[in-house]
Amino acid sequence: MEFLYETHMHTAEVSGCAIGSAEQQVITYKNHGFTGIIVTDHFINGYTNCPKGLNWEEKMNFIVSGYEAAKIAGETHGLDVFLGWEFTINGADFLTYGLDLDFLKGFPGLDELSIEEYSDIVRKSGGYLAQAHPYREEYYIEDPYPVAPHLIDGVEVFNAMDKREANVKAYEFAQENDLPMQAGTDSHGRGFRFYKGIALKEKAKTIHDIIHAIKTKNARLF
């Protein structure tokens, strides 16, 4: 028996590009046989619905609101929900796991950091950082290439929103640099014929169980 987990998804409550509400996403993943999801809504330096004029604490409360709504829905529908976010620097996106709202509130101005500074803070605080779709080419991405390998813990090598060529390049980059790999749907609430994610042999009790499985290369990509 395997347990399926989504590593990359958005909710309409927070991400400006999403059309599926937190509850709709939970129901969809439950119906597709997933055990759990990591909600990775866009941070305030990405495509977010965050209202203007909020102070830092209010902004951070907003950023996790999609996760909190999904968590409640997950308890109702029987799906485990974990917190993450997608941090953006010059159009490049970085999936961040293993940290919480207290961490976010404790670092005002986090959105203004360079990738070097952000990586240092996240990892020293016990978090995990993976570059999402490193070879995606879009008008808003200034540098569609991976960052230096030492700045990240893993690479998203399969993304359902990306072209095959971009995924192959990401896979080769991870292989060449011996970096842990992960797969994600990057769901925004639209229907997918195929969902991507990771499969674990044991049910994850916390987000750190998922991180450990990815880092030790014990997560099967599908």
pLDDT tens readout for residues 24-68: 999 999 999 999 999 999 999 999 999 999 999 999 999 999 999
Task: Tell me what the pLDDT averaged over the chain comes to.
Answer: 95
Element (H, E) at 96: strand 92-97
Question: What is the DSSP-derived secondary structure letter of residue 48?
Answer: B
Indicate the pTM of the whole model: 0.96
Q: Is the pLDDT confidence value at 142 over 90?
A: no
What digits encode the pLDDT tens for the residues 160-210? Answer: 989 999 999 999 999 999 999 999 999 999 776 778 999 999 999 999 999
Confidence of residue 126 (pLDDT cuts 50, 70, 90): very high
Which domains can be identified in the chain, with CATH numbers?
3-221 (3.20.20.140)
Comparing CA positions, the residue from 177, 101, 176, 184 lying closest to residue 136 is 184
pLDDT at 138: 76
Identify the residue whose tokens are 């996760």.
67
The two structure tokens encoding residue 183: 């797969």
What digits encode the pLDDT tens for the residues 198-210? Answer: 999 999 999 999 9
Question: What is the DSSP-derived secondary structure letter of residue 203?
Answer: -
